[in-house]
Amino acid sequence: MAADAILVDSFSVFAPSLFSPYGVMKIIGPSKQRAGTGNRETSSAWAYHDGTKHSHWSTRSNPHFLDWANKPIPFKIYRTLEGIKLPRSDGDSGVPALAAISDSPIPVEDEQVPDLETLARLFYFSAGVTRRREYPGGQIFFRAAACTGALYHIDLYLVCGDLPGLEAGVYHFGPHDFSLRRLRSGDYRKVLVGATAGDVSVAGAPAVIVMADTYWRNSWKYQARAYRHSFWDSGTILANLLAVASAHRMPARVVANFIDERVNRLLGLDTQKEAALVLVPLGRTHEPPPGNGDEPGALAYETEPLSEREEDYPAIDEMHRASSLGTAAEVTALREKALALPPPEVEGKLYPLKPLPDEELPRMSVEGAVVRRGSTRAFARVPISYTQLSTMLDRSTRGINGDFLEPYGSTLNQLYLIVNCVEGLPSGSYLYHPGLRALELLAQGDFRDKAGYLGLEQEIPADASVDVFFMADLDPILQRYGNRGYRMVQLEAGLIGGRLYLAAYGQRLGASGLTFYDDDVTQFFSPRARGMSVMFLVALGKSVKSSDK
């Protein structure tokens, strides 16, 4: 998923008789496939999810091709706004990556206000350009976090009061020149307080980072399925952002519930093409933000065209609108009582995890792991240890500080594994029980070939030591959260997947995010996974390059 490796994927456009606005085959079946309107009409989520599935047949029936001459640029560039250069900092927190990704929420007592240097580090290690490579046609920009197809469609914005080194305002972060551009002058945090129905972490934050998606930068390749990637890729950025914030003892929280239109308007987004996805309040102040939170005026800054022409995928806009919240009452209703899913029952043999204790963690810092990270494109068929796998699972799944995952440690996804080559663990399929910190053996055997097939017939999952499939029972999630729940479960999968990346590279291993044949994965893990849906896939192991050293 990183820039050093274009993700292999296929698309799903079919013969005209089967064509739908989703850019995939029409799903003909139960009434739940018919899209409704409004967040509580969950038929919209089902229609989108089922309509964007990959299958062995769909990937071979797709006439879509990549028009390289029309590939979108990987940045949002404002034509007339001068950039405010962010300070470069090569300093290192010294906090091991494996400690940073697993730290519990930071207690907030005294005021903690980020300065410009802290913000610069957060932007750089979450969404910055970490290196560049020249090639005959130009440059490839390598980013801090993994992204499907190396297409980098997630933009970061900052809404803040007066900070040390930075005046209050609304800013856009430009990775291409490592600058902030002021879209609005003044303190607009009260708008976000209103948009989140008074969320305590937002109300007390001196700064809030907002992640937004520009759809075309990803749908150019992935068509309507790109809306899934909105949350996979914002999730991997979040994993980096939260880890670096933890390393610097800066409180940070994931806020997924807000009135969409208010946030979009504040950032000046063209809602036909882009949309806000998640908020991350940073720090703590005892002074409430000023103002009354009135709706700000419209913005009309010119940006560079992404490509010569853009193609619209109505299903993305339909799904986003169907999962949008329009009132404070809707936001409050989703936040008041988080969904507590019962843990799966244990039916087979358990293998307790054997993670490294704190004092034996590899010392590679979170910043070092981020800079070293890059999606592995070739795994060596050599084993990793059960201790390494245990440490990755243990450290990546301890909990997310988010408004939809309470109490801390709650989860919407279950992790199913295909173990190909792990010392001390039989090869086979497994279900991870985070509450027990143990793996349950589902079926013993050599499933390398099957793993390769499930991962869209690629060598990467077949060669990897372990493949981790994120799966979820969408029914209770959509019943509790409406269509918004689809965003949440995809976001959580992407975030934990991003932590697995950092956990792997923190141990000098490799990782790669992949796509999959949806229903075939469910069938493979059934009967335990019957009725569940796949959200994400991460392959783990030793890269060919590192194993040669």
Query: In the prediction, which pLDDT does 30 show?
Result: 33
Q: What are phi and psi of 479, to 5 degrees?
A: -65, -40
Look at residue 20 in the predicted model and tell me its pLDDT: 35
- Give the per-residue pLDDT at 291: 86
Q: Looking at residue 349, what is its pLDDT? A: 98
**How much is the pLDDT for 240?**
98
Fold match between 68-333 and 340-547? yes
Report the pLDDT value the prediction gives residue 40, as an integer from 0 to 100: 94
pLDDT at 120: 97
Alpha carbons 204 and 285: distance in angstroms, whole number:
5
Residue 354, φ and ψ in degrees, nearest 5: -130, 65
The highest-level CATH class for domain 68-333 is alpha beta
DSSP result, 61-121: S------GGGPPPSS--BSSPPPEEPPP-------BHHHHTTPPPPP--S-B---HHHHHH
Three-state SS for 222?
helix
- At 37 the pLDDT is 56
pLDDT of residue 50: 97
Structural tokens at position 39 = 């967040």
Provide the percentage of residues in the chain whose pLDDT is more than 70. Answer: 92
d(CA 236, CA 513): 10
Domain 340-547: CATH architecture, name and number where available? 3-Layer(aba) Sandwich (3.40)
- Tell whether omega for the bond before 343 is within 30 degrees of 0, i.e. cis: no
Distance separating alpha carbons of residues 156 and 180, to the nearest angstrom? 10
pLDDT < 50 regions, the chain: 1-36, 548-549
| Pairing verdict, β 466-472 and 533-541 | antiparallel
pLDDT tens digits for range 461-482: 999 999 999 999 999 999 999 9
* CA 324 remoteness from chain centre: 18
User: What is d(CA 488, CA 485) in angstroms, rounded to the nearest whole number?
Assistant: 5
Q: How far apart are CA 537 and CA 455, in angstroms?
A: 8
d(CA 545, CA 26) in angstroms, rounded, equals: 43
Collapsed DSSP state (helix, strand, coil) of residue 403 = coil
Check residue 375 and give its pLDDT. 75
State the pLDDT at residue 56: 93
CB of 71 within 8 A of CB of 151? Answer: no
- Which two three-digit tokens encode residue 203? 């109300």
**Residue boundaries of the structural domains of the chain:** 68-333, 340-547
Q: pTM to 2 decimals?
A: 0.92
pLDDT of residue 139: 76
DSSP 239-308: HHHHHHHHHTT--B-BB--SBHHHHHHHHT--TTTEEEEEEEEESB-SSPP-S--PPPPP----B--SSS
Please, what is the end-to-end C-alpha distance for the chain in angstroms?
A: 24
- In this predicted model, what pLDDT tens digit does every residue of 211-224 receive, in sequence order? 999 999 999 999 99
Cβ atoms 474, 488 nearer than 8 A = no
Residue 363: both structure tokens together: 């010392």
